[in-house]
Each structure stands twice: as C-alpha cells, then as structure tokens.
Copies of this chain bind each other. A is one copy, B any other.
Amino acid sequence: MTILEQARSGNITDVMKTIAHNEGVSPEQIRQAIADGNTVILNSRQPVAIGKKLITKVSASVGLYEKNDTIQGEMLKIKAALKAKTDTIMDLSVRGDIDDMRSTVLNSIDCPVGTLPLYQALHDAEEKYGSALKMTADDFFEVMEKQASEGVSFMALHCGTTMEVVKQAKEDHRIDPLVSYGGSHLIGWMIHNQCENFLFTQFDRVLSICHRYDVVLSFADGMRPGCIADSLDRPQVQEILILGNLVKRAREAGVQVMVKGPGHVPLDEIETTVKLQKKLCHDAPYFVFGCLPTDSAVSMDHISSAIGGAIASFYGADFLCIVTPAEHIGMPDADDVFTGVIASRIAAHAGDVAKGHPDAIAWDREMSVSRRELDWQHQIELSIDPETTERMWKERSSNFSSECSMCGDYCALKIVTKYLHDEREVI
C-alpha cells in the first residue's frame, strides 16, 4: 500500500510518526491530512511533508546543464543548498551522465530528491536516435520507471499541458509564450509529431509507476507565466482546470499529488493565483516557483522572488521553489544557490508567521527577546542565515567598545531600560 492508501485505511505508519514529530503535530493529524490530500509526504531517509498548516518548505534545483557542468560542481551546489537548509533537492540534469549524477545525489544526501524525467528521456533519445524529437512514449516511461525504482521521492510531469492548452497559448498572443523549459520541449515534441501529450493520454501509466514506487506526483505547469503581462491568462487557467481533474484521478489511484504553479505574478494577483489553484486542484499542496512580482529585477530575482513567495506562502502555498540571483541571466553557482535558498526561507518564514504557525511565531518572539537582552550569540543561532550573521557581527562589533554593536554609546535599548523600565515609579 502507498502512504496515501495507508492513511485512508486509518493506518499511522512510521514515516507519519516521524513527520508528526518533526512538525510538532499529532500523528493522527498527519494521517488525516494525507488522507484528505491536502498534505503529501516526500519519502526518503529524511522524509519531508508538504501541506496545509505545516511549515512552508523550500526546494533547490541543480543539475548537469551546460556542457562543462560536472557532478562534482553540482554536488557543491547541493552542499550550499543544504547548508542554507533547503528541505529538498531537485536534480534537473538534461545532459551528461544523468544516471551517474542521480545515483551520486541519491547516495549522498538524505533529504527527498525530485526529478523531471522527461529531460533524461529526451537526452537518451537524442543519443539513441540522433534527435530528441524521435523519443517515444515507451522510451519515456522506461526512464520514469528507472528513476522511480532508484528512490526518487517526487517527479515533475507536465500532464496537463495538452494540445488544447497549447492552442490557447497561440491564440492568446502571450508576450513570452512559453518559459517552462520542460514544457517547451514537450510541446516541441507534440507539435513535431502531431501527437497529443502522452503524459495526458497515458496518464494511467504515469499513475501505475508512481503507485508502484510510491513516488509523489508533482504536476508541472507548461503554461507558467514568464512575465507579469501573461499572468492568470486563459492558457494558464485552462491548464489548471485539466490538472484539477488529474489530481482527482491520482488520488483515486492511491497516488499522492501536489501541483506546481507560477512564475511571474503581480502582487495584486498572487492571492487569486494561490486560491484559484488550491480550489481547482482540490486543496492539493501547492508548489510555487517564485513568484516574481516584477520582470525587471534581473540579477536580483532572489529578492523579487522572496516578495512573491512570502505572499504566496501567506495565502496558502506550501512549498517554494527557489529563484537564484542568476535567474534570467545564466546558470547559478553554489553561492547563488545558497542565496536563493536563504531568500526563499525568509519568504517561507514570513508567510508562516502571518499564517499563524505557532513555531514560526515562537521563533520570532525568541529572536525579539534575545535582541532586547542583547544576547548576540543567541541572535546568531536563531537567525535564518547564522553564518552570514556571525560574520557580519564579528566584522562590525570590533569597531565598538560597547558589548552591543547596534547603537554604540547611544543604544536606544539601554536608554529605554534606564528611563522607561527602571524608573517606572517616576512618572
């Protein structure tokens, strides 16, 4: 039985107990949330749950992409992502020794690993037939099953990117018609072969593999809006409608499912985007890329993404896909990945505070008390990026004679303590 089937049968399994312990809720709450479909468990040696009322999680993507990318280089990015406390890693390799890369990742890290198996299927077809466009559906499912059997926790699949949706994108004259990398390749294949999306027509095969290996299905969005002007347009919403149906079919088949969304979304459309996605996809956990509330923050898109991600989290997004400063320019290096994870974690935490998650609120309160008490060591420990905080504090505090480096001789907090607190009787 899959985790979902166990949950529906009323069984509380060991992994549910582990998750309940990590999340600070009861095992029965976790079981019920999985049974209801608003929460999924990405299973691994260090399982992670994504869903309603839980701490918002963060995912970092790496992979062999450029000709001179190496597994060693990608492992450095993973190390940076883990240091910044990402919850999961996606290996999105599109070339090179993809099998070796994936097995290295799966053997090296304990957290859940996700993949987008179409990339390897296209790469293998290019090697086998001389063109990715000659890939067959059977080729794809062979790759998918191989990856699933090796212990991949979740897979991104563009099951809802149908010909109907592609036609919508043509008719709607988007500014940036397609920016989803996997989606674009799939659509290229569909158009070239005059063939409907096999992930849609053969969805039962997708479900069968996910069921056999208890892989979480992560619907990818081929119609991800690539600019503010294209947000919440017909193709995007059409695809969500299709995915909503597929969510129901996945659940009926005993397969855990989550749905990925945006992209570029103006601030005033984030609430609608999240609520529509959750509503049409029957409360499936929402995995969001960004979102980016401006197109013009290139080289600083981790900041733009933190803005959109925080609001998305507040309105219900459960899982943030990091955006690095290199987005829209080139491939990120390890430092970019670190920065991207930290920015997304700030967004996730700000969302959790606003959602009223008790652990998030307690964390901020503890930090505030430490700040009042000038307990620098504890502030460093509690900070989202302790390493940078400690480095900056050491650099700056050496300029001060006072123990508090914030205000030097003029510390506002000391004045408050002296005048407001100690002399309470005076007023």
Give residues in A with beta carbon < 8 Å to B.
65-68, 94, 163, 166-167, 169-170, 175-181, 183-185, 187-188, 191-192, 194, 226-230, 266-269, 293-300, 302-304, 306-308, 310-311, 314, 325-326, 328-331, 342-343, 346-347, 349-351, 353-356, 361, 363-365, 367-369, 371-372, 379, 382-385, 388-389, 391-393, 395-397, 399-400, 405-408, 410, 412-413, 415-416, 418-421, 423-424, 426-427
A410 touches B329 (CB 8 A): no
Given A307-B350, A342-B300, A349-B296, A188:B365 Cβ within 8 A: no
Q: How far is B351's CA from A330's CA once the two chains are assembled, in angstroms?
A: 27
Listed A/B pairs (11) with beta-carbon separation below 8 Å: A166-B427, A178-B420, A183-B412, A188-B415, A191-B427, A228-B364, A228-B368, A306-B306, A329-B406, A330-B400, A330-B405
A236 CB → nearest B CB, Å = 15
Q: How far is B399's CA from A360's CA once the two chains are assembled, in angstroms?
A: 42
A401 CB → nearest B CB, Å = 9
Q: How far is B181's CA from A363's CA once the two chains are assembled, in angstroms?
A: 25
Given A267-B311, A389-B298, A412-B184, A365:B175 Cβ within 8 A: yes
Q: How far is B304's CA from A385's CA once the two chains are assembled, in angstroms?
A: 12
Query: Closest chain B residue to A94 by CB distance?
Result: B410
Q: 7 nearest interchain CB pairs?
A: A330-B396, A227-B368, A267-B354, A184-B412, A299-B389, A293-B350, A268-B354
B194 touches A426 (CB 8 A): yes
Q: How far is B309's CA from A55's CA once the two chains are assembled, in angstroms?
A: 23
A177 touches B416 (CB 8 A): yes
Q: How far is B345's CA from A294's CA once the two chains are assembled, in angstroms?
A: 11
Query: Closest chain B residue to A265 by CB distance?
Result: B354
A385 touches B300 (CB 8 A): yes
A68: chain B residues at CB < 8 Å are 399
B229 touches A393 (CB 8 A): no
A364 touches B294 (CB 8 A): yes
Q: How far is B379's CA from A194's CA once the two chains are assembled, in angstroms?
A: 35
A307 touches B304 (CB 8 A): no
A368 touches B226 (CB 8 A): yes
**Contact residue among B311, B328, B354, B426 (Cβ-Cβ distance under 8 Å from A406):** B328
Q: How far is B293's CA from A421's CA once the two chains are assembled, in angstroms?
A: 27
**Contact residue among B294, B300, B342 (Cβ-Cβ distance under 8 Å from A353):** B294
Given A330-B392, A361-B228, A304:B188 Cβ within 8 A: no
A178 touches B228 (CB 8 A): no
Query: Closest chain B residue to A301 by CB distance?
Result: B346
A264 CB → nearest B CB, Å = 8
B330 touches A406 (CB 8 A): yes
Q: A228-B353, A299-B389 are in contact. List 17 more A-B contacts (CB 8 A).
A: A66-B400, A66-B408, A170-B424, A175-B369, A177-B421, A178-B412, A178-B413, A181-B412, A187-B419, A191-B427, A226-B368, A267-B314, A267-B353, A269-B354, A293-B353, A296-B383, A303-B342
A303 touches B306 (CB 8 A): yes
A179: chain B residues at CB < 8 Å are 412-413
A405: chain B residues at CB < 8 Å are 329-330
A399: chain B residues at CB < 8 Å are 66, 68, 330-331
